[in-house]
């Protein structure tokens, strides 16, 4: 079980009185991520589950951008769950109460996830490099089980490609992550693609995002 909750909460300082945490990256990455996903998600209906929602700003923006999907956020960190619920209330966003979900576990078998399944979308932003590889593996395996045929699994964040960093910024970030925690670090698109193939998910898109980030999108066969 991987619950590095205090390490993560410490990254988002300055909670407002109602528990809303500031998201340092939301303003610059939410728009490009929504634009990148729009060709795939526009008009879709069904349930969407976000894993590792963090402060919770993205899920509110996603719910506005893709209103046909019913959005459920999640995070193992109680401080983050409080922030997610507070942002949803503040913005009157149509977002369900956040689940306490550890992606390294057998989360697709949980009753609260099964009640939403089969899912149209599972999305994880900036999660799998700030967690042990077991979280990436659990996330992909669970998505393979919980997604509907034709449903999507989307990752956003920095990746290595073919064993190499895509820029100096990511190389430095990777070294910093590994110094913080030897089990963390940028994942290679090839290792995620391989795990996805095993889980019955085919690679649909690798989208370049600002600041050398990527959207890695898979579709259940
Ligand atoms: C860097 S934050 C990203 C938050 C948000 N998605 C964003 O992009 O701003 C990583 C998030 O992953 C969550 N997390 C860490 N370990 C996890 C696990 N085992 N399962 C699910 N989420 C996890 C943390 O609590 C944290 O909220």
- What are the pLDDT digits (tens) for 78-104? 999 999 999 999 999 999 999 999 999
Domain coverage including residue 114? 5-9+23-69+77-220
- The answer as to whether 15 is a domain residue is no
Least confident of 12-16, 66-70, 112-116, 137-141: 12-16
- The answer as to whether 81 is a domain residue is yes
Provide the pLDDT for residue 84. 98
131 lines ligand 1 (CB under 6 A): yes
- The answer as to whether 87 is a domain residue is yes
Structural domains counted in the chain? 1
Structure token digits, residue 111: 């009753």
Q: What is the mean pLDDT of residues 64-82?
A: 98
Residues 68 and 43: their CA atoms lie apart, in Å, by: 6
What's the gap in Å between 113 CA and the centre of ligand 1? 18
Provide the pLDDT for residue 9. 56
**211 three-state secondary structure:** helix
- The answer as to whether 188 is a domain residue is yes
52 lines ligand 1 (CB under 6 A): yes
Provide the pLDDT for residue 158. 98
- The answer as to whether 49 is a domain residue is yes
Provide the pLDDT for residue 163. 93
- The answer as to whether 135 is a domain residue is yes
Banded pLDDT at 4 (limits 50, 70, 90): very low
What's the gap in Å between 67 CA and the centre of ligand 1? 23
What's the gap in Å between 50 CA and the centre of ligand 1? 10
51 lines ligand 1 (CB under 6 A): yes
Looking at residue 158, the DSSP 8-state letter turns out to be: -
- The answer as to whether 14 is a domain residue is no
41: CB partners within 8 A, 6+ apart: 66, 69, 121, 152
The enclosing domain of 102 has a CATH number of 3.40.50.150
- The answer as to whether 16 is a domain residue is no
pLDDT at 137 over 70: yes
Pocket residue to mutate for ligand 1, from 54, 98, 104, 209, most atoms within 8 A of Cβ: 54
Pocket residue to mutate for ligand 1, from 60, 75, 184, most atoms within 8 A of Cβ: 75
Looking at residue 24, the DSSP 8-state letter turns out to be: S
Least confident of 6-10, 57-61, 105-109, 191-195: 6-10
Provide the pLDDT for residue 24. 87
Q: Which residue has the higher pLDDT, 10 or 44?
A: 44
pLDDT at 131 over 70: yes
Banded pLDDT at 12 (limits 50, 70, 90): low
185 lines ligand 1 (CB under 6 A): no
104 lines ligand 1 (CB under 6 A): yes
């Amino acid at each position: 079980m991987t619950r590095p909750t205090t390490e993560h909460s410490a990254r988002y300082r300055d909670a407002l009185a109602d528990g809303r945490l500031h998201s340092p990256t939301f303003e610059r990455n939410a728009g490009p991520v929504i634009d990148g996903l729009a060709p795939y998600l526009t008009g879709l209906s069904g349930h969407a589950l976000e894993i590792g929602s963090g402060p919770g700003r993205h899920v509110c923006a996603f719910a506005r951008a893709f209103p046909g999907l019913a959005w459920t956020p999640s995070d193992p960190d109680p401080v983050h769950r409080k922030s997610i619920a507070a942002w949803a209330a503040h913005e009157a966003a149509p977002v369900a109460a956040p689940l306490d979900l550890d992606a390294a576990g057998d989360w697709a078998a949980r009753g609260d996830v099964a009640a939403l399944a089969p899912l149209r979308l599972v999305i994880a932003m900036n999660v799998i490099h700030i967690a042990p590889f077991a979280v990436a593996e659990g996330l992909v395996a669970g998505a393979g089980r919980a997604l509907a045929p034709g449903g999507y699994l989307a990752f956003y964040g920095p990746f290595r490609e073919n064993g190499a960093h895509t820029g100096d910024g990511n190389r430095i970030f990777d070294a910093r992550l590994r110094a913080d925690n030897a089990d963390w670090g940028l994942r290679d698109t090839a290792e995620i693609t391989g795990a996805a193939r095993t889980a019955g998910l085919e690679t649909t898109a690798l989208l370049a995002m600002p600041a050398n980030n990527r959207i890695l999108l898979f579709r259940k066969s």
